[in-house]
A and B are shown apart, each in its own frame.
Chain A
Amino acid sequence: NAGVTQTPKFQVLKTGQSMTLQCAQDMNHNSMYWYRQDPGMGLRLIYYSASEGTTDKGEVPNGYNVSRLNKREFSLRLESAAPSQTSVYFCASRGGHLLAQYFGPGTRLLVL
């Protein structure tokens, strides 16, 4: 099992460009999440999907959109990147008998 995978690992964008961050999990979990991690702020929830076909806003959704393509895949899109979106983005899925969250390796995004 690969667990949670994310692509790309690193990306540099110019202000105003768009991109999609990809996430996939092979643990058959229903819930998936997107977080951003910034120095001194901890991880903050951007969007989540409790099940295939549903998505909901988290704490910091502005400037982002998401798609739950199927049970395995949950993508995060930046339509018009801004320097404030420079961050490390983590995808996670939730499941197992304890309903723990399992994280991917992260995508480092730099917006110039």
Chain B
Amino acid sequence: KQEVTQIPAALSVPEGENLVLNCSFTDSAIYNLQWFRQDPGKGLTSLLLIQSSQREQTSGRLNASLDKSSGRSTLYIAASQPGDSATYLCAVEGGANNLFFGTGTRLTVIP
């Protein structure tokens, strides 16, 4: 069974810093990897999806990379803002309907 790990579980940074969130997975046979944001008491918002044939995706200040062979993905957030404070979840898809989630990294950006 695919296992997805996100370290650290929590992270605090001062506003303006660049930061990297990590995601690792045990089975490299994936279809895609998706990064989500979850605000307290809310649903999940899709940030970026990287297909298995891709190495990275970018959206604004966010950049996600994928290294299937090593079972790793990173989410880079540039020039962090207090509004970026949320929990960030990584999920890998191992089949047409099998999405496995990590437990997330709770990010706090301090003004």
Hey, which bits of chain A sit against chain B, CB under 8 A?
Answer: 4, 31, 33, 40-45, 48, 50, 56, 58, 90, 92, 98-106
Interfacial residues of chain B within 53-111, with CB under 8 A of chain A in the complex: 89, 91, 96-104
B46 within 8 A of A: yes
- Chain B contact residues, majority secondary structure: strand
- Select from chain B the residue with minimum beta-carbon distance to A9: B41
B43 touches A106 (CB 8 A): yes
Q: How far is the CB of A99 from chain B (nearest CB, A)?
A: 7
- Is B46 a contact partner of A102 (Cβ separation < 8 A)? yes
A31 with B49: CB separation less than 8 A: no
Which label, helix, strand, loop or mixed, suits the secondary structure of the A interface? Answer: strand
CB-CB nearest 7 A-B residue pairs: A103-B44, A42-B101, A43-B101, A103-B43, A105-B43, A42-B103, A100-B49
Q: Please tell me if B4 contacts chain A, counting CB pairs below 8 Å.
A: yes
Query: B98's contact among A42, A45, A102, A103, by CB below 8 Å, is which?
Result: A45
Contact count A vs B, C-beta below 8 Å? 53
Q: What's the least CB distance linking B92 to chain A, in Å?
A: 11
Q: How far is the CB of A12 from chain B (nearest CB, A)?
A: 16
Cα A79 to Cα B45 with chains together (Å): 30
Chain B interfacial positions (CB closer than 8 Å to A): 4, 32, 34, 36, 42-46, 49, 51, 89, 91, 96-104
Q: How far is the CA of A34 from the CA of B97 in the complex (A)?
A: 11
- B44 and A90 contacting across the interface, CB-CB below 8 Å: yes
Given contacts A43-B44, A50-B97, A98-B32, 5 further A-B contacts (CB under 8 A): A33-B99, A42-B104, A100-B34, A100-B46, A101-B34
Q: Which residues of B contact A92 (CB under 8 A)?
A: 44
Residues of A within 8 A of B104 (CB): 42
**Do A45 and B42 form a contact, CB below 8 Å, given A100-B34, A100-B49?**
no
Please report the C-alpha to C-alpha distance between residue A99 and residue B36 in the assembled complex, in whole angstroms: 14
Option from A33, A41, A56, A90 in Cβ contact (under 8 Å) with B43: A90
- With a cutoff of 8 Å between Cβ atoms, the chain B residues found around residue A103 in the complex are 36, 43-46
